[in-house]
């Protein structure tokens, strides 16, 4: 039997914000989809979108009463990440506390991420 593991976790603030997003959506939403894409001055950026259903190959993180669907191409980049939601004087935004992130650009829009090594998967129970 294969052990399951959570690719990422959510803080209470992130879960509360996702619950509000789902409640205020103009169509039925199952959760949010998280991934990474190439771009920006640091090389990659995090992506988020509404998720109406699970896509083939996606990991589903169920934490604090919400579902986060993780793009299969992003799993190694997001392994061990904590998703938070923070509000400051200038912004309200999701923040990814990612142990695989090696740097970020000055504007905060893009990051450099190194994929998790196979031993990290073993430690996570995969």
What pLDDT is recorded for position 3? 45
Q: Give the mean pLDDT of 76-104.
A: 89
What fold, for 8-113?
Hypothetical Protein Aq_1857; Chain: A; (2.60.300)
pLDDT tops 60 at residue 90? yes
For all residues of the chain together, what is the average pLDDT?
A: 85
Domains of the chain, by residue range, sit at 8-113
Q: Give the mean pLDDT of 78-83.
A: 94
Dump pLDDT digits (tens) for 116-126.
Answer: 776 655 555 55
Q: pLDDT category, 110, cuts 50, 70, 90?
A: low
Q: Give the mean pLDDT of 60-79.
A: 94
Closest CA relative to residue 41, chosen from 120, 117, 114, 106: 106
The phi, psi pair for 123, rounded to 5°, reads: -65, -30
Dump pLDDT digits (tens) for 17-59.
Answer: 999 999 999 999 999 999 998 876 667 888 999 999 999 999 9
pLDDT tops 50 at residue 1? no
What pLDDT is recorded for position 43? 76
């Amino acid at each position: 039997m294969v052990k399951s593991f959570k690719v990422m976790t959510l803080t209470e603030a992130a879960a509360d914000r996702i619950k509000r997003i789902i409640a205020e959506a103009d169509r039925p939403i199952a959760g949010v989809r998280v991934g990474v894409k190439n771009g920006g001055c640091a090389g990659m950026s995090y992506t988020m979108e509404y998720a109406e259903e699970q896509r083939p190959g996606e990991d589903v993180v169920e934490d604090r009463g919400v579902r986060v669907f993780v793009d299969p191409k992003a799993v190694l980049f997001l392994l061990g990440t904590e998703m938070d939601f923070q509000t400051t004087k200038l912004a309200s935004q999701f923040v990814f506390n990612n142990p695989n992130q090696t740097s970020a650009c000055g504007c905060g829009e893009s990051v450099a991420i190194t994929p998790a090594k196979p031993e990290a998967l073993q430690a996570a129970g995969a």
